[in-house]
Chains A and B, each alone.
Chain A
């Protein structure tokens, strides 16, 4: 099997699993308990908080809250800020956010909040002028993903933060960093981020654990109310093995950042340029935009994405598509639509996302097989005349 869907989820690193195991077996104590037996569990928690603090470059461990997933991190941050200061009713976000926050904002709109959705250009870059114009003193929150999950396009977080702080210093800034954790360096202090959410399973930790950074100047009302855990910001007995696993994964991610940004990028670029060169009806959906090193989003004109995925799957290759047919939603990806990807290519767009476990041999195999698959599917397309014209144009 060749796994090129690492933006969906990743393989658990064996070293992560090893780091988790003791807390499933011998060291099962509740970290809050008052006996020596709980020492190892509470130390593991403390150490993990330190590692995640370093991972995002926070000032203080107290600014890290452990959660169950990226969605919980986002919900805690967004609802937390809004519930703490109910006077402000305006939110700014983007049209291309992950559904976990987009659907939350649609719910909040029904509850009386006004939400502005900032658009992107055809490369997927955010319209910063529109963003700046939208900020008012009533803006409670600006919420922007660091990188887009479908295209890998990185948004200029520091610049956005500067815009926010110059126009409305009281407005809080939440960054969904799920797709950058482990792919590019994160520095919440330098970037001027108030809150930042990550999810373990996107960087080789298991599913079911995440973290939220909330800086000391930002007050939130907790989403889950109960015990005193996480300094009262998130009740519930801490999931020690998973938190320990995520910390180990963060350590490994810090160590391999350089590899991600050079070697993973080299393989991604090789895959991308080969596909674009060998397949005449292909197009890079992101153009020249700045992207995370592991992701490429390519559109194939006059063919449909699900069929590409099914043929890839028959060869053991895992990828994903923004096509309507894969999701069952009937409409193609909201991200590609916001970018105005031409209607000839939007249904045939696929995402390939690598990891540090991806090998050159795997990339070469995909480079060999994908052109055959696209040729096979193109051959049954009813748009033969259009395809012939496209081929002529490309060969010029």
Chain B
């Protein structure tokens, strides 16, 4: 038996906004009969505000609950706000979903995205981001690279199993598992390179960590520390007061200063006392 929250149970028992809007301004679809779940969402939109939403779902309890709560979340909202909704928001609104059921919330997100796309709504993010690939990664469940990428980004997914729980990709024949692994690796490589700082930014960040996290701790013991120089991964520091004559100084530097900097920056940092 799944560990469904009261909210999930309430929504599959008494789903809100069920049905079809015949003169809908936007319709979005996600999933398929063969895959075991499908969601259709119908929107009425006036002056960029969602004035009504209805859904039809073929799927399990969490799929119905995700669809139902999604309609509640978007009615009355501007398209700008609706566009910001992620699968995680849907799951959070339900008080959480079992990991194996997260793909139901992703289905809600996909149907919503599909509806907005069909309506022709684009926000700044869409314009900034390069053309998203519609390449199918998982042929069993027709999951695109785009969907996997969004799921990783919105939920911080780390493993292939996570991706399967959230998107179903890799859940049947498993042949696409290495492709999924590649997408995860590419995503985190991109995150890392996005986070790369210029040399000046890096020195400022190290100095900031020393001043706010390390120095106050040393001051408690009557000592202090300041940054002298940064060369590649080598961080040169000078110790003052009690610290400078303390026999345990080396130990202090190695254990505390270095670890603090490693945690905040990266594992290659080496601290040298001058």
Contact = CB atoms under 8 A, between A and B. Distances in A.
Whether A associates with B in a native complex is yes
Interface string A288-312: 0000000000000011111100110
A310 B65 CA distance: 12
Contacts of B64: 307, 380
B181 to A, nearest CB: 18
Contact of A383 (B36, B58, B98, B101): B58
A380 B56 contact: yes
B198 to A, nearest CB: 45
A330 B63 CA distance: 13
Contact of B60 (A302, A304, A314, A344): A304
* Chain A interface size range: 20 to 34
Contact of B58 (A324, A328, A381): A381
B66 interface: no
Q: Is the interface of B mostly helix, strand, loop or mixed?
A: mixed
Contact of A302 (B15, B29, B33): B33
Given A307-B12, A310-B12, A330-B172, A381 B56 contact: yes
Interface stretch (B37-45, B205-213, B224-232): B37-45
B164 interface: yes
Contacts of A330: 36, 141, 164, 168, 171-172
A359 to B, nearest CB: 25
Contacts of B36: 304, 323-325, 330, 332, 347
A300 to B, nearest CB: 11
Contact of B15 (A323, A344, A380): A380
Contacts of B20: 384
A328 B59 contact: no
A344 B38 CA distance: 12
A224 to B, nearest CB: 32
B56 A344 contact: no
Interface in B8-42: 9, 12-13, 15, 18, 20, 29, 33-34, 36-40
* Chain B interface size range: 20 to 34
Contacts of A384: 20, 56
B100 interface: yes
Interface in A334-393: 343-344, 347, 379-384
A333 to B, nearest CB: 11
Contacts of A331: 171-172
A246 to B, nearest CB: 27
B76 interface: no
B240 to A, nearest CB: 59
B96 interface: no
A382 B100 contact: no
B86 interface: no
A302 B56 CA distance: 12
A229 to B, nearest CB: 37
A329 interface: yes
Contacts of A306: 60-61
Contact of A382 (B15, B56, B98, B141): B56
Interface in A225-276: none
Contacts of A302: 33, 58
A307 B59 contact: yes
B105 interface: no
Nearest to A327: B100
Nearest to A332: B36
A323 B61 CA distance: 12
B57 interface: yes
A66 to B, nearest CB: 31
A273 to B, nearest CB: 27
Contacts of B141: 330
Given A310-B61, A331-B172, 4 more contacts: A324-B36, A325-B61, A381-B57, A382-B29
11 contacts: A302-B58, A303-B58, A307-B61, A310-B12, A324-B36, A328-B100, A330-B171, A331-B171, A347-B36, A383-B33, A384-B20
Interface of B: 9, 12-13, 15, 18, 20, 29, 33-34, 36-40, 55-61, 63-64, 98, 100-101, 141, 164, 168, 171-172
Q: Considering the complex of A and B, which 7 residue pairs feature the smallest CB-CB distances, nearest first?
A: A330-B171, A325-B60, A306-B60, A382-B56, A328-B100, A382-B40, A347-B36
